[in-house]
Amino acid sequence: MTFIKKWMNATKALVGSFCMLSLIACGGGNYVENADRNEIITLGDSIFDLSGDIQRILEDRAGQTFRDYTLSGAELSGGIVANSVERQYRDAKSTDSNIDTIVMNGGGNDILIPAIILDPYGCRTHWWRWSISRNCRNLINDQYINLVNLMNKMDNEGVQNIIYLGYYELPRGNANLTGALNYGDDKLSLACRNTTGNCQFLDPRGMVPASDVLSDNIHPTSAASLTLADLIWPKLQTLL
C-alpha cells in the first residue's frame, strides 16, 4: 500500500471517528432545575438525554416532573465533551441541596469516547486480541473507584436512594466493545453493592436487541427507551 493510500485511509478513519463523536456530543438539552419534585433528580449521559424519552415516560407515569441534569457526551468523571456526572451532581446540589432520590447512569462514555478515537486503551476486541487489554480494565477499575466515592458522597450528604441503570450491548460496528461493556457493567453493579448508600443496580443486558438501537450503534430507539423506562419504573414508583 502506498503512503498516499495509507494516509487517505487514516484520514477517513479519523473523520469517521469525529463524526461518531459528534453523535455522542450533540442533541439532548440543558439542565431542568425546577420541577414538581425537586428532591428527585436524574444524572447521566445521552442514553437518557439524547431523546429525553426515558425521562418523559417516567414523568408521565408518575404524573410529576423531576429535575434533569443529564447531558449527552457526559463521562462519569472528567469532561471532555460535557459536564461529567460528578459535576452534574455538584450543580444539582448548588441549586437545591435537598436531594432524596437519584436516577442515574454513567461510565459508558469514559470507555466509548476514547474507543471511538483510536482506542488507546484497547477496549475493543479483534481477531488478534480476543480479550480487552489490561489498560482497558485499569481504566474501568479507576471509574469504579470514582463511582464508589461519588455514591458515598451522595450518602453522606443525605441522598436516600440511588437507582443506577447499566448499559445494554452495542450492536454491529460497536459489537467488539462487548467485553469492555460486560466488565464495566459488572463493576457498576459491584459499586452499587459496595457503596455505603442505598443503591439498586438495573442490568439491561439481553433486553435491548440490535433492532432497538439507532444506526449510530449506540443510542436507544423509542422502543429501547420504553424498555429501559420499564426497568426503572417499578423501583422508582415505590419511592414516590
Can you give the pLDDT of all 240 residues of the chain as single tens digits? 443 343 334 333 443 444 444 445 555 568 999 999 999 999 999 999 999 999 999 999 999 999 999 999 999 998 777 999 999 999 999 999 999 999 999 999 999 999 999 999 999 999 999 999 999 999 999 999 999 999 999 999 999 999 999 999 999 999 999 999 999 999 999 999 999 999 999 999 999 999 999 999 999 999 999 999 999 999 999 999
pLDDT of residue 7: 33
Rg (CA), the chain: 18
User: What does the pLDDT read at residue 79?
Assistant: 77
The CA-based dihedral angle spanning residues 209, 210, 215, 220, taken in that order and rounded to the nearest 10 degrees: 20
164: helix, strand or coil: strand
Kind plus residue range of the DSSP H or E element containing 162: strand 161-165
Reported pTM:
0.90
pLDDT at 71: 97
Q: In angstroms, what CA-CA distances link 78 with 145, 151, 176, 201?
A: 14, 16, 25, 23
Residue 12: what pLDDT? Answer: 38
Distance CA 138, CA 125 (A): 16
> What number of other Cβ atoms are within 10 A of residue 224's Cβ?
23
Question: What is residue 40's predicted lDDT score, i.e. its pLDDT?
Answer: 98
What CATH number does the domain containing 81 carry?
Answer: 3.40.50.1110
Question: Do 212 and 232 form a contact (C-beta atoms < 8 A)?
Answer: no
Give me the domain span that covers residue 156: 3-237
Predicted pLDDT of residue 197: 96
**Cα(35)–Cα(56) distance, rounded to whole angstroms?**
13
How many domains, in total, are found in the chain?
A: 1
- Reported as type and span, the H/E element at residue 66 is strand 66-68
Residue 167 confidence (pLDDT)? 98
